[in-house]
Amino acid sequence: MRLEAKRGAPGAALYQRIRNDLEVKIVSGAWPPGHRVPFEHELMETYSCSRMTVNKVLSALADAGLVVRRRRAGSFVSRPRVQSAVLQIPDLKAEIEKRGERYGYRLLDLRKRTASAQDRVRLGIGGRATVLALRCRHEAEEQPFAIEDRLINVQAVPDVLKQDFSIMPPNTWLVGHVPWTEAEHRITACNADNDVAAELGIEPGAACLVIERRTWRNSEPITAVRLIHPGQLYDLIARFTPTA
């Protein structure tokens, strides 16, 4: 395992270059959760730098929640996790199967495009960013369980363009491969319009639960998703203790 060395920038610039190289491999999914990061002596040889510089990089990645350092074993890419959040980020496929029900999935639409004004607001991005826009349906026992409307920031997750989302749900892939450091949930209710009612197999005007979520990695937007569930099919439960 060897990274391509980039030379010519001492001190802080070299530290930032090494950190950026490792972050790109982690965030892109090239190094999936559990992957061992090169040992310190390997990074020292690759970048012709001191142990102090390498240790500073790995410590910063650990502080950002991207790697876990284990004494004598090395450093490993972290599993995606919640930072001080009441609600976990669910994998609907795993949730449905955990209940003993048969999971189904259908990709309804997928488009790579330059972000529209509405896309930029949803994701919190600027400029001529590129997004991957997906719409899909999740099913439990062959009955519609949720409609998913998602935007993914291609700059933050370039490997997303290589995935076949006609087979794997986007959230399953993101949860398993893309680390994040901050998430926001917004929970509301709506009445199904004609299109949503047809996709969920419910009556127009029926009550629906809406979960909107955004995630970031060190302030860089990763994804924005809107999930619409038939109101009677989904519960949100949070168990917590008082804090100071």
Distance of alpha carbon 93 from alpha carbon 114, whole angstroms: 29
Query: What does DSSP assign to residue 1?
Result: -
Write out pLDDT tens, residues 164-208: 999 999 988 988 888 888 888 888 999 999 999 999 988 999 999
pLDDT of residue 241: 66
Residue ranges of domains in the chain: 11-77, 92-230
Minimum mean pLDDT among 66-75, 121-130, 190-199, 227-236: which range?
227-236
pLDDT of residue 34: 81
Q: Which helix or strand (DSSP H or E) is residue 227 part of?
A: strand 220-230
Task: Determine the distance from the C-alpha atom of residue 14 to the mean position of all C-alpha atoms in its chain, rounded to a whole number.
Answer: 28
Both tokens of residue 152?
Answer: 């993914």
Distance of alpha carbon 220 from alpha carbon 147, whole angstroms: 26
Residue type, 145: F
- What is the sign, positive or negative, of the torsion defined by CA atoms of 25, 78, 19, 84? positive
Report strand pairing: 103-114 vs 130-140. antiparallel
Average pLDDT of the chain to the nearest whole number: 85
pLDDT above 70 for 144: yes
Cβ atoms of 133 and 98 closer than 8 Å: no
Q: Which residues of 93-103 are buried (b: 16+ CB within 10 A; e: fewer)?
A: beebeeeeeeb
Give the residue among 48, 74, 60 at the shortest CA–CA distance from 22.
60
User: Which is more confidently placed, 71 or 139?
Assistant: 139
**Average pLDDT over every residue of 136-151:** 93
Level-2 CATH architecture, domain 11-77: Orthogonal Bundle (1.10)
The confidence band for 50, taking pLDDT boundaries of 50, 70 and 90, is very high
Query: Please, how many CA atoms are within 13 Å of residue 217, restricted to the half-sphere of its CB?
Result: 22
Helix axes 51-63, 40-47, angle to 10 degrees: 120
* Topology (CATH) of 92-230: Chorismate lyase (3.40.1410)
The confidence band for 141, taking pLDDT boundaries of 50, 70 and 90, is confident
pLDDT of residue 238: 62
pLDDT of residue 134: 97
